[in-house]
Amino acid sequence: MERRKFVGRSALLSLGSLLGAEIVFGNRLPEGLSLLGLQDPDPFALFDKDPEMVVLNSRPWNMEAQAHLLDDPVTPNKYMFIRNNGLIPEKPDPTKWQLTIDGEAARQVKSYSLEDLKKKFRPHTYRLTLECGGNGRSEFNPPASGNQWTVGAVSCASWTGVRLRDLLEDAGYTTNAVYIGYHAADRHLSGDPGKEPISRGVPMEKALQDETLVAYQMNGKDIPMAHGYPLRLVAGGWPASASGKWITRLSIRDRVHDGAKMTGDSYRVPCEPVAPGTKVADSDMCIIESMPVKSLITYPKTGATLPLGSSLPFRGHAWAGELRVARVKYSIDFGSTWEDCSLEAPANRLAWQRFSGEVRFPQKGYYELWARAEDSEGKAQPMVLPGWNPKGYLNNACHRIALKIT
C-alpha cells in the first residue's frame, strides 16, 4: 500500500492563519490537497457587489467599478471599489471591539468601545470622496507594478462617525504631535501575525479637519465588512490608503508615521519630475497628500450609438482633493476646442461635484467625448497621461468615452 504524506505542523499553522481558524484534523491532511476554504469564493455574492464590477486580484481582494456604474450622487456599496493590502479579518463581535489611542505624543493610553464612540461623542455625517492613489495606473508606460486600475477606483459614500479631532482632544495629545498612524485587524498575506499589511495615516493638520472621521456607518448602515466594519478612518480627498479599515489602534506620533506602506515607493512619488523608467532614491520621494483634480463621465456608457440630429445629454462627477472644482469643460474634437458644462456645488467639502451638459454632433461618424476639470487654484487636468512615477500614482488625465453617430 502506498504510504501517504501529510502536511507538516508549520505549514498547518500558516494555513490556519490564512483561514482564521485552527484546521481540525489537520494532522491528517494529505500533502498537495487544496483546502476548499482557501479557494476563491464568488466575490460578487461575498461582498454584495454588482456583477459588472471588475475583479483585479483575489489575494488580496481588489475590485473596481466601471465608469457608468458610478453615476449615483452617493455611491452605494454594490458599486464601491475594494482595495486591500492584506486579508480581510473575520467579522468581529462589535461588543468586544476596542479602539486604543496611544503613541509618543499621547498624554495617556486610552481605549474606547463602539458604544463609547456612539454615546459619548456627537455624530457627524459627510459625503467624502475616496480614490485609490493608483487609480488609472493601467495607462502608464513603462508599466507600473501593482493592480492595473482603470478609472473605477473612486467613490463618494456618505460616512457617519466621530470627528477624529473630538476623539484626539478627549484622549489628549502633546504639542509634539506630528502625525496619526493607524493599526488594524487585517492580516498580512504571509500569515505572520508580527507583520502589518498596511499602517499609514495623516499629519495632524489633516487629522484635525472637521471632515476627518472615525466612522461606524456608511450610507446610513453599519459599514460593510469589506469596507472596514466595524470601524474605519475616513480622510476624504487624500489617497484612500490613508483611510484605514478595521482600525483597532491610533498612534499619535511625534514624527512622520513609519508604518507599513509609508516608506520606499509606497504611496509616494518623485518630489521633482523624472524621465519614464528612472530609478528614484527614497530621499527624493514625497508622500502623496491631496489628490489632483479629476473628472469622470458616468453617462452615457462608452460605446453608445445615436442617430444624427439628436442631442446627447451627458453627466459625471469631478473632484479635486482638498480643493473645490471651479469648472468642467467638454470637447468632441480631441481637445481642440472646449465648451463649459453645468457644475453643481458639492454636498459638503471633500465631496465630488456633479457636472452635466448636452451636445449635438455635426455629422455621422466616430467621436470621443472628453471631460476636463479645473480646481479652485486654476490647475486643470492634463489631456494626456501626466508625469510618470515608479508606482503609477496620480493619473488624472482627461476621461473620455467613445460614441458613434449613425
Q: How many domains does the chain have?
A: 2
Domain contains 30 = no
Domain contains 8 = no
Q: Does 265 lie in the same domain as 301?
A: no
Q: Of the candidates 287, 306, 330, which is a domain's last residue? A: 287
Q: Of the candidates 248, 271, 287, which is a domain's last residue? A: 287
Q: Are 333 and 403 in contact (CB under 8 A)?
A: no
Q: Does 184 lie in the same domain as 305?
A: no
Written as nine digits, the cell of 40 is 476563491
Q: Does 241 lie in the same domain as 390?
A: no
Helix (H, G, I), strand (E, B) or coil at 154: strand
Domain that holds residue 350: 294-405
Q: How does pLDDT run across 181-212, given as a tens digit for each residue? A: 999 999 999 889 999 999 999 999 999 999 99
The pTM assigned to this predicted structure is 0.90
User: What's the pLDDT score for residue 14?
Assistant: 59
pLDDT at 159 over 80: yes
Q: Does 217 lie in the same domain as 331?
A: no
Q: Give me the mean pLDDT over the 9-35 stretch.
A: 68
Q: Does 332 lie in the same domain as 227?
A: no
Cα Rg, the chain, nearest whole Å: 23
Q: Of the candidates 235, 254, 287, which is a domain's last residue? A: 287
Q: Are 70 and 79 in contact (CB under 8 A)?
A: yes
What is the DSSP code string of 97-144?
-EEEEESTTBSS-EEEEHHHHHHHS--EEEEEEEE-TTTTGGG-SSPP
Q: What is the largest CA-CA distance in the chain?
A: 80
Q: Give me the mean pLDDT over the 112-123 stretch.
A: 98
142: number of Cβ within 10 Å: 9
User: What's the pLDDT score for residue 36?
Assistant: 62
User: What's the pLDDT score for residue 350?
Assistant: 98
194: number of Cβ within 10 Å: 6
Q: Does 319 lie in the same domain as 270?
A: no
pLDDT top residue among 31 and 103: 103
Q: Which of 15-24, 32-41, 169-178 has the highest mean pLDDT?
A: 169-178
- Which residue, among 70, 79, 88, 84, has the nearest Cα to 49 in the 3D structure? 79
Q: Does 298 lie in the same domain as 283?
A: no
Give, in degrees to the nearest 5, the angle at Cα 159 between 158 and 164: 150
- CATH number at 244 reads 3.90.420.10
Burial readout 248-270 (b: 16 or more C-beta within 10 A, e: otherwise)? bbbbbbeeebebbebeebbbbbb
Q: Does 154 lie in the same domain as 273?
A: yes
Q: Give me the mean pLDDT over the 12-40 stretch.
A: 67
- CATH number at 331 reads 2.60.40.650
Q: Does 328 lie in the same domain as 272?
A: no
Mean pLDDT for the chain overall: 93
Residues with Cβ within 8 Å of residue 246, at least 6 apart in sequence: 88, 89, 184, 185, 186, 228, 229, 231, 232
Domain contains 2 = no
pLDDT at 17 over 60: no
